Amino acid sequence: MATLGKLLGATRHVVGAAIRVSQVRATFQRGMSGYQFESLAVTRPREHVMQVEMNRPEKRNAMNQAFWREMVECFQAIAAEPDIRAVVVSGAGKIFTAGLDLGDTMSSLFVEGADIARKAIRLGPKIRQYQETFSVIEKCPKPVIAAVHSACVGGGVDLITACDIRLCTQDAWFQIKEVDIGLAADVGTLQRLPKVIGNDSLARELAFTSRRFEAEEAKQMGLVSRIYPDREALLEGALELASTIASKSPIAVQGTKVSMVYSRDHPVQEGLDHVALWNSTMLQSEDVVEAVQAGMQKRKPEFSKL
């Protein structure tokens, strides 16, 4: 009974997501003109691939209030784009990101209220809203690749741990900086990093000390999977990887992401039940026939829009 309840819960989650996606699709079916943002530059550099670039280079891509809001709008729109199959997230200018905007966003955390409880009741939803800025990446069924060059500070680590794949340049460095500004990190690093690197002790060390670590160590711990000599090579590598992913069946790739995200947070049997339910529909896709036939005929498969 408990398993059935969980499966029904999972199904409701999937159906709920589909309804939200169709609502957003209605809003964003305006092609690239729907992707005009203040803090982000959104382009389609390759077929089926979107690049989302944090775009406040003069402020080192510090995460201001527009950013926290626009990332949600942007990724909800991407989730609903039938022709987009993979995403690259990058930073414009000198560094990837300096994390939380210590002016604009920091001041939004000082809320009005007659007493501490009333202030807390206002602040709680704001923190949850900021959490959604990165959770939306994880909820987007399309694989998201973080391409990190130079500094990735504070909120930057929260952001990249919500991505599916992380790549960086040789000169990249990372810092879970929150304790240095008097905060427990609260938008994803503490929850996701130990799972990403599979080393709880190291995750705690980095979070307690805010020790800066470099590309080689990031690769050794499993935070990034590849290191490139410079930003140009990094972006080329990230886009190439995104194109490879985009050449596969979108039904298969998105089912894989949804299943891996679900399985990370559930026991093996629940993950197996979830993917069995998922595939009882998705295995009936025309993509299975097309992928198998293309393989037999030694040709490139063609998959239709979602």
Ligand X SMILES: CCC/C=C/C=C/C(=O)SCCNC(=O)CCNC(=O)[C@H](O)C(C)(C)COP(=O)(O)OP(=O)(O)OC[C@H]1O[C@@H](n2cnc3c(N)ncnc32)[C@H](O)[C@@H]1OP(=O)(O)O
Contact map string, positions 59 to 78, toward ligand X, x by CB under 6 A: xx-x----------------
Rounded to 10 deg, the angle between the 65-80 and 2-28 helix axes is 100
Piece in contact with ligand X (CB under 6 A), picked from 135-143, 153-161, 190-198, 213-221: 153-161
Q: Which of 261, 258, 263, 246 is nearest to 306 (CA)?
A: 246
Q: Which of 294, 253, 231, 255 is nearest to 48 (CA)?
A: 253
Q: Tell me which residue has tokens 């990101």.
A: 97
144-148/165-169 β-pairing: parallel
**Residue number with CB closer to ligand X (58 or 115):** 58
Contact map string, positions 77 to 116, toward ligand X, x by CB under 6 A: -----------------xx--xxxxxx-----x-------
H/E element, 173: strand 173-175
The first and second tokens of residue 214, run together, are 């470099």
Contact between 192 and ligand X per CB under 6 A: no
Collapsing DSSP to helix, strand or coil, 181 comes out as helix
The DSSP symbol for 113 reads: -
**Residue number with CB closer to ligand X (131 or 259):** 131
Question: Closest separation between CB of residue 106 and ligand X, Å?
Answer: 8
**Residue number with CB closer to ligand X (133 or 256):** 133
Contact map string, positions 113 to 152, toward ligand X, x by CB under 6 A: --------------x--x--------------------x-
Rg of the chain in Å (alpha carbons): 20
Instruction: Give the footprint of ligand X on residues 223-262 (CB under 6 A).
Output: none
Piece in contact with ligand X (CB under 6 A), picked from 25-33, 44-52, 55-63, 200-208: 55-63
**Residue number with CB closer to ligand X (70 or 178):** 178
Length in residues, the chain:
306
User: Residue 54: beta bridge partners?
Assistant: 40, 91
Question: Closest separation between CB of residue 153 and ligand X, Å?
Answer: 5
Residue number of the CB atom closest to ligand X: 154
Collapsing DSSP to helix, strand or coil, 121 comes out as helix
Q: Which residues contact 272 (CB under 8 A, 6 or more apart)?
A: none
Q: Which residues bind ligand X (CB under 6 A)?
A: 59-60, 62, 94-95, 98-103, 109, 127, 130, 151, 153-155, 177-178, 181, 186-187
